[in-house]
Amino acid sequence: MDPLRCLAAALTTMLLSASLASANPFIVPDKTTADVYGWSPDGRYVAFVETTVLDSSSGAVHSELNIVDSATNTLLNNYSLESEPANGLVNEQELYQRTVRGVLEKGGGRLAELRIAYNRPGTVLWQSKLQKAQTMSKLATAADTQQTFKVLVHDRTWTFRLSTFDYAVNSVCPTNGAAYPARGLVLSVSAVMPLNTVMITTLQKDGAALPATRQCAEIYRPTEVRVQGNYMSVLLAVTHPSGSNGYNTVNYMLVTGIRPTR
């Protein structure tokens, strides 16, 4: 089966599930899904696709393919494509799949060059369940600035710690009623090694300024950990107040690094 169609179908299933939960302020007014497309054989390079149905426009679909250097946590390439319904003749599901296939075709040459393949999705070590509407709408609190979760890998435990810190209030961000400071993050993983030594690796540490895509970030939630070869990835959901009826919108970021143990 065509791998482009496979991924498009999988992401569409995720999108439809999100639509059924449309009362959840974490996922409306825009509905976004993200999934790892595949890795290179040694895990050095990974690609993931993020796709959003833009309810605020006219049902347009925006999809992005991001190719990342797993060793340095650096974005190498970004390809994007946006499609709109043509005279109402294309339904949301068809448009979604067409857009995902299109963005994968745009980046197809680079995927082939780096030997990133759809049939090499890596191994999922951990996945979370996003919290429900009543809690997601109240997560921008002091308790949210420190998160810890553990993943058992063979006989070793990886402990992930995600902390956030505030930047100055950004006047360009929607406020949902009150101005708020955008948030950056520090994400690390630690593991106990032989002789009871502890290895701590900082995977992501934001600097003096946030990138444009996160200048209004409010909440970070880890959703998945994968590995391929000597490398790992952590998929984070990032919420932003939309300024629309008190709802939050969500997009995703992929953080990568060298895994602490095999």
Digit-coded pLDDT (tens) for 170-222: 777 776 666 678 899 999 999 998 888 899 999 999 999 899 889 888 889 99
Mean pLDDT of the chain: 82
Instruction: Look at residue 98 and tell me whether its pLDDT is greater than 70.
Output: yes
- What angle is formed at CA 10 by the lines to CA 131 and CA 15, rounded to 5 degrees? 45
How many domains are there within the chain?
1
pLDDT band with cut points at 50, 70 and 90 for residue 8: low
Q: How far apart are CA 185 and CA 243, in angstroms?
A: 23
pLDDT cut 70: percent of the chain above it: 75
3-class DSSP state for residue 191? strand
Contact 149, 126 (CB under 8 A): yes
Contact 43, 227 (CB under 8 A): yes
pLDDT at position 258 is 97
pLDDT at position 90 is 63
pLDDT at position 172 is 77
Encode pLDDT of 50-93 as tens digits: 998 876 556 789 999 999 999 999 999 999 999 888 765 567 78
pLDDT at position 5 is 58
Least confident of 97-106, 110-119, 126-135, 194-203: 126-135
Global pTM exceeds 0.75: yes
pLDDT at position 231 is 98
pLDDT band with cut points at 50, 70 and 90 for residue 155: confident
Alpha carbon dihedral 189, 115, 38, 250, in 10-degree steps, equals 80
What are the φ and ψ backbone dihedral angles of 42, each rounded to 5 degrees?
A: -90, -5
The dihedral through the CA atoms of 186, 33, 37, 85 has a sign that is negative
Nearest residue to 26 (alpha-carbon basis) of 129, 99, 125: 129
Largest CA distance in the chain: 67
Higher pLDDT, 234 or 217: 234
pLDDT band with cut points at 50, 70 and 90 for residue 6: low
What are the φ and ψ backbone dihedral angles of 171, each rounded to 5 degrees?
A: -70, -15
Q: How far apart are CA 121 and CA 84, in angstroms?
A: 29
- Most confident of the ranges 19-28, 122-131, 132-141: 122-131
pLDDT band with cut points at 50, 70 and 90 for residue 18: very low
Q: How far apart are CA 248 and CA 242, in angstroms?
A: 5
Side-chain half-sphere exposure of 156, counting CA atoms within 13 A: 19
**16-38 mean pLDDT:** 56
Domain housing 112 = 3-258
Instruction: Look at residue 143 and tell me whether its pLDDT is greater than 70.
Output: no
